[in-house]
Chain A
Amino acid sequence: MPQPAVHRTVLVIAFILVFLAGVWLSASGFISEFLSYREDINYLVVQHMHLTAVSGGLAILFAIPLGVLLSRPQMGKVAESAMQVLNIGTTIPTLAVLALSMSLLGIGTTPALFALFVATLLPITRNTYAGLKGVSPALMEAAAGLGMSSTQRLLRIELPSAMYVIFAGIRTALTINVGTVPLAFLIGAGGLGELIFTGIDLYSPVMMLAGAIPTAILAILVDAFIATMAFWLVPRGVNPARR
């Protein structure tokens, strides 16, 4: 904080603006209308989180071993090609993945989960692979020279060293996942997208915001949650946040 006085002034002005916005929103009837969607929001948030938890959880369970496998020296050039395929996969819009998934698996929760799983898989695999490949060869030579088996090297040196990067991948992936779940409504999987898209269709901005604002808050909370986990779980010596 180079200039605390300026900082404080900005805070005070922001506070006043928020207060005025609240007064205006309340006077225009926005808040009471928004609160009328409370029950919908409660129900849909749970559904939304369920979609994220299942697709994200499966993606983590699948992506990390995949990244580990691809980073093994025996994989050689296969790994590079596989990463190319995954990188191309990342550029396909999630909406297109959803459409593809629907055409294969029909409508409902399963195709939505599958599409979200695929979209989440890529960043985590990529970061796991990059993190493990980034461990310095000198470190690996020292570990081998001290008599660690390849499994011991992976568990005691490589994964802890790469953990920060892997967590960064999980963080990006899950935040994107939460933000993408609303699209799942389009193939009949529910979630906060229900309020957003219905709000758009009915030209009801408040209804739309009743879906959009909780989605944004969820995304921020998930991001903060993963960041906190990374802060405590990544060993201090390889954790830039705790150096």
Chain B
Amino acid sequence: MIRLDNLTKVFKTQDGPVTAADRISMEVPAGEICILLGPSGCGKTTTLKMINRIIPPTSGSVFINGEDTAQLDTQTLRHNIGYVIQQIGLFPNMTIEENIAVVPRLMGWDKKKYRDRARELMDMIAMDPDAFLKRYPHELSGGQQQRIGVARALAADPPVMLMDEPFGSIDPINRAVIQDEFLKMQQELKKTIIFVSHDIDEAIKMGDRIAIFRAGQLEQYSEPDELLAAPKDEFVESFLGEDRALKRLNLVKVRDVVSDSIGTVQPSDTLATAQQRLEEYGYQSAIIMTNEQFQPVGMVLASVTKSTRGYCRDHYLPLPALVGLDDDLRKVASLMFAHGITWLPCVDDKGRVCGQITQRAITQHLGARYAMQTAGKSGEVA
């Protein structure tokens, strides 16, 4: 757990004092990733760097796991905080192994222990220890270097990590891969992480919480869904962008919106049965046809059931698309637009039909939050 209490930094410049961070107070629960987000010069990096005293705070305090860090000497404090920077900063004179072992060696681990640890970390970041440990940073690609940067920060297993735009200098394709890898690692490691970013999409993807900064002040501090649904003021709203409702689609899983009642037919049913079932469920356009294992095979159009006689197995069309329970709504919306449809069948991890997702359900789910917000606002006025 990290708690900042009235953390303030005033820089003395030629034009008089400039407040880079103004009484920042916030709390990051253990095991969560908190993203500090904002335009450049908003104080997010200053705030981050005051935590490990790269920038000494003017006033205020930092508590890590309840302990006031002012009691610790700077070296000890930093040994217990993993630090990753945008420029990566691997030491060019050291091999990858020596780079990873920097903090363990400073802490006086014996050789066997830190070498084993280096191998373990290489496995964790999915790089072959035998191929890489003896190489030098300049022999690695940017993406590989930043993976090592993360491994180096994790070497002594610090409870807390500070990351200053760690994936900012990596090309977009590799960045997405590294972000995914990092999130997977974090699920097991459960570090408490403060992460600076200026990329709203990265923030939504990585953050359990997002802190929006503006001109040295903490503007809003909430969970991503809350932030997108209920931005506190116009600044936050404009920073999030006009497509913030679409961004929320990333955060919602099919699981949260799916309706589990779904009418289906089997190949052996007659078209008359299909027509009956369509009416029963109130479907306008088509009904799903499944096999005996309840796996989707195709769909029977409502128009066909009215105009033709026979069995479903002879009169079905292939399904345009399927979604899984863990897909996000962004994918669902994209499929709906691509195929010009308003509903999609949804399958579980064994490939069985388990429900359907409709455009209306999505709109309602997103809208529910706005309705609450509007109600809240009118409540305040009253």
Residues of A within 8 A of B (CB): 136, 138-139, 141-149, 152, 156-157, 160-161, 163, 235-238, 243
**B65 CB–A CB distance under 8 Å:** no
Scan B116-137; emit 1 where CB is below 8 A from any A CB, else 0: 0000000000000000000011
Q: By the criterion CB–CB under 8 Å, are B89 and A141 in contact?
A: yes
Q: By the criterion CB–CB under 8 Å, are A235 and B94 in contact?
A: yes
Question: Which chain B positions have C-beta within 8 A of A238?
Answer: 92-93
**B91 CB–A CB distance under 8 Å:** yes
Q: By the criterion CB–CB under 8 Å, are A138 and B88 in contact?
A: yes
Interface SS majority for chain A: helix
Q: Which of B54, B93, B103 contacts A235 (CB 8 A)?
A: B93
Q: By the criterion CB–CB under 8 Å, are A237 and B95 in contact?
A: yes
Q: Which of A148, A237, A243 contacts B94 (CB 8 A)?
A: A237
Q: How far is the CA of A143 from the CA of B136 in the complex (A)?
A: 17
Q: Which of A138, A152, A157, A235 contacts B87 (CB 8 A)?
A: A138
**Further contacts, 19 of them, CB under 8 A, given A147-B76, A237-B138:** A138-B87, A138-B88, A138-B89, A141-B54, A142-B88, A142-B90, A145-B52, A145-B83, A145-B85, A146-B106, A147-B79, A147-B103, A149-B75, A156-B91, A157-B91, A160-B93, A161-B92, A163-B93, A237-B137
Q: How far is the CA of A143 from the CA of B78 in the complex (A)?
A: 10
Q: Known contacts being A147-B78, A147-B79, is A142 close to B89, with CB within 8 Å?
A: yes
Q: By the criterion CB–CB under 8 Å, are B83 and A157 in contact?
A: no
B51 to chain A, nearest CB (A): 10
Interface centre among B85, B92, B95, B103 (most CB of A within 10 A): B92
Q: Known contacts being A161-B93, A235-B94, is A146 close to B88, with CB within 8 Å?
A: no
A73 to chain B, nearest CB (A): 14
B83 to chain A, nearest CB (A): 4
Q: How far is the CA of A224 from the CA of B371 in the complex (A)?
A: 80
Scan B66-84; emit 1 where CB is below 8 A from any A CB, else 0: 0000000011111101010
Pull 14 A–B residue pairs with CB atoms less than 8 Å apart, ordered by A.
A139-B91, A141-B87, A142-B89, A144-B54, A145-B162, A146-B152, A147-B74, A147-B79, A148-B106, A157-B93, A236-B136, A237-B94, A237-B95, A243-B138
Interface centre among B54, B88, B89, B95 (most CB of A within 10 A): B89
Q: How far is the CA of A148 from the CA of B77 in the complex (A)?
A: 11
Q: By the criterion CB–CB under 8 Å, are B136 and A139 in contact?
A: no
Q: How far is the CA of A156 from the CA of B103 in the complex (A)?
A: 12
Q: By the criterion CB–CB under 8 Å, are B136 and A237 in contact?
A: yes
**B102 CB–A CB distance under 8 Å:** yes
The list of the 7 closest CB pairs from A to B, nearest first, reads A142-B89, A147-B78, A237-B136, A138-B87, A145-B83, A160-B93, A235-B93
Q: Which of A136, A146, A163, A235 contacts B83 (CB 8 A)?
A: A146
A94 to chain B, nearest CB (A): 34
